[in-house]
Amino acid sequence: MVYLLIILVNMSVKVNITSKGIQKVLKNYNERQAIAEYIWNGFDANANTIHVDYVSNPLGLLTELKIADNGYGINFDRLTQKFEPFFESEKSIQIVAPKHTSKMHGRNGVGRLTFFTFAHDAVWHTTYQSEQGFHNGEIRINTGGLNNYSSDFSTVPSHTGTTGTTVSFTNLKISQQDIETIVLPFLINEFCWFIELNKHKNYAIIVNGEALDFSSNIKSIEEFKLVYPDTAVTFKIKYVHWKENLHKELSKYYFLASGEEIYKDYTTLNKKSDDYFHSVYIDSDFFRDFDFKSFENEGQVAIFGAAKSSAEYRFLIKALAEYLKSKRKPFLKEYANNLIQSYEQDGIFPVYASEREKELRKPPLVNLIKALYEIEPKLFGSLNTDQKKAFVRLIDLLMCANLHDKIFEMFKGMIELDAEEEHELFQLINDLK
């Protein structure tokens, strides 16, 4: 019996995505997000260095853009999975960061087709390693046929080589100014927390030969240790206060063991509507066999290792929550002053009948608004101009009528306060009498 083995090395494949699906991708992606996708693809392939190189003509228009990584490359046997987006729904193509791990940010398929937001043609030159050696291949796609890709992996495997992928984009729609004023600042905010997470591994994004400077987004950074006294378990802490938001990543705790991320979760002060962007990196051998999920279900006990119900973990989270609150206070005071300035400029405060009345009523009103903002910024985050005026003038009228107890009850019902904050608010309002 004769067996015939046919190996297909040159091929053209229609990608499983309709024009409608592509239009949805166009709606959700822009050039900044698309370029970030190719960088995430490199890190997802276990690269530690991404090179972004571009060339512009005398008019400032880009003539070439390349994004190269030193990851494990694209395996030809898995090419279909890499370049076929199997989903069509708008929900499934939204850019959402993983919830509890920093691995695998790239979206299968769709992310690789987003180049049409900034270029007409894309070519992937990739090298991956198998038992037979190093394989070189090429994949091509253009905007005229986004639902088709052609590939060539006909090169004979070599015993020597280096894995990695370089994507070359041509017929570009963006300028050097777009790259330098829009894309690079976006990349700094997108990857700063990730580079800091992997700093000990020397992760880097190199742009035209120079490492992208992520420190430009750092407002402050502190390192210290927390030790649980009963068992001497030590936690090494690195706190970073960022100047600008981290896009979909938000503010999180990163739990590590010997520098390797085990788990991540939102901090207690995440999404408080106050622009307090921060990351907390916590390294301890305590997390090596830690069960982060057992405490989520009531009554479930971790079989191996410690869990969130452990005394050490409770000590850690309580200490960090208090630490973050202490770091946030001066930040909120600064922003409370900015709030008052904006209220002055927008005419939010009441117009008083006389200077004497203004001197008596406005300072206590301003102090109360600043204090309320420091306790709960969300109260002021989503109000339009008319709502701000109504809100401020209601407080002013209640104060003028000496109904301070009603003010306290009103805000106690509107915002969630811990015992310390409730006492602080009560004392503040009483002092205004």
The pLDDT assigned to 138 comes to: 94
Which two tokens mark 386? 């008319």
- The pLDDT value given to residue 6: 36
Residues 6+ apart with CB under 8 A from 295: 302, 307, 308, 309
Q: What local confidence, expressed as pLDDT, does residue 179 receive? A: 97
d(CA 220, CA 323): 14
Contact 195, 203 (CB under 8 A): yes
Cα–Cα distance measured from residue 217 to residue 206, given in angstroms and rounded to the nearest whole number: 17
Do residues 8 and 153 lie in contact, with contact meaning Cβ atoms separated by under 8 Å?
no
Pick out the chain residues at pLDDT < 70: 1-26, 81-98, 104-110, 271-273, 294-305, 415, 417, 432-433
Residue 333: is it exposed, middle or buried by C-beta count within 10 angstroms (0-12/13-18/19+)? middle
Whole-number Å distance between alpha carbons of 417 and 162: 57
Given this model, what pLDDT does residue 95 score? 53
What the block records as the tokens of 62 is: 């880009």
CB neighbour burial string for 47-82, b if at least 16 within 10 angstroms, e if fewer: bebbbbebebeeeeebeebbbbbbbbbbbbeebeeb
- The residues with which 133 forms a beta bridge, in sequence order, are 130
Task: Report the pLDDT value the prediction gives residue 422, as an integer from 0 to 100.
Answer: 75
Looking at residue 105, its pLDDT comes to 64
What is the DSSP code (8-state) at residue 308?
Answer: T
Q: Which pLDDT does position 410 carry in this prediction?
A: 78
DSSP 30: -
301 vs 120, 231, 287, 295, 316, CA distance in Å?
Answer: 55, 20, 16, 7, 19
If we measure between CA atoms, which residue out of 296, 292, 250 comes closest to residue 275?
A: 250
